Amino acid sequence: MTAIKFVAGVLLGIVLYYGFESMTGPEWTDSVEILTGGCARQGMDTRFGIGEGALTHWECVDPESHGATSSEPGASMPSETGERVHVERAGVVAMALPFAEAFPLFSAEGERQWAAGWNPRYVYPGEPHAGEGLVFQTTRKGAGTATWIQTRHDPATGVASYVYVIPNHHTAMVDVQVAPDGESRSRASVQYRMTSLSSDADEFVRAFGEAFEDYMAHWAEAIQQHVVERVPLPRE
């Protein structure tokens, strides 16, 4: 439940940032209703705050207690003060694959082909799918459960974008654009914008930024080995 509240807050922040006009339609409507229903199911109101154009907190509020928050552990954002660690990185993944085969590799289901341990659990729709409004979860060792929302899916231009949140740990926006790169080759431009949500995750985010180029090299090697050369992924 906590993960849903946090990711709902991020989703609302995205909507506020980009404007409702660019994010309308049944997919977004359904996703917002699913993600924001947690407080209502507890018989509580919802409350979120905005500061400097960004969402600052999201919590369930007891309507009988004049603003007291839910007693559920982790229901509200950490009360730590001070600016958290934020990194922005961009890199390129070169692939010996034509565009039509390369772009699907950066979907929730496509990543299964080359990323060891990647096992998405689909929240909405509850089956493998790619498209705006898709909600799924993954588990990252040492960090927790990440709830992902796909915010853009445009096969014509090769663009796929996501946002995910690991409650009380970190959040990130991920943008991928795949483009042809000569005969039977493609390249993916990858951008990460990651922010720590607690002091426990500051070092994690900092280390991610420092090792980003290594991550991109690993992605390229994994795709070459497990997709191009068809070497089976190791069993866990």
pLDDT of 23: 42
Nearest to 95 by CA among 31, 180, 37: 180
What residue spans define the domains of the chain? 2-61, 86-228
19-75 per-position pLDDT tens digit = 433 444 444 444 445 445 555 555 656 554 444 444 444 455 555 544 444 333 333
d(CA 22, CA 155): 18
d(CA 152, CA 16): 16
Predicted confidence (pLDDT) at residue 78 exceeds the cutoff of 50: no
Distance between start and end Cα atoms, the chain: 28
Token pair belonging to 172: 């990130």
pLDDT of 142: 77
pLDDT of 57: 47
pTM exceeds 0.85, yes or no: no
109-134 per-position pLDDT tens digit = 999 999 999 999 999 998 898 999 99
Higher pLDDT, 185 or 62: 185
Amino acid at 133: G
197-207 per-position pLDDT tens digit = 999 999 999 99
pLDDT of 33: 52
- Architecture, CATH, for domain 86-228: 2-Layer Sandwich (3.30)
Measured CA distances, 165 to 37, 72, 88, 173, 223 (Å): 17, 18, 16, 9, 25
pLDDT of 134: 97
pLDDT of 60: 53
Strands 144-154 and 135-140: antiparallel
Question: Mean pLDDT over all residues of the chain?
Answer: 79
Which whole number is the average pLDDT over 192-200?
96
136-174 per-position pLDDT tens digit = 999 988 789 999 999 999 999 999 999 999 999 999 999
Q: 3-state DSSP call for residue 115?
A: coil
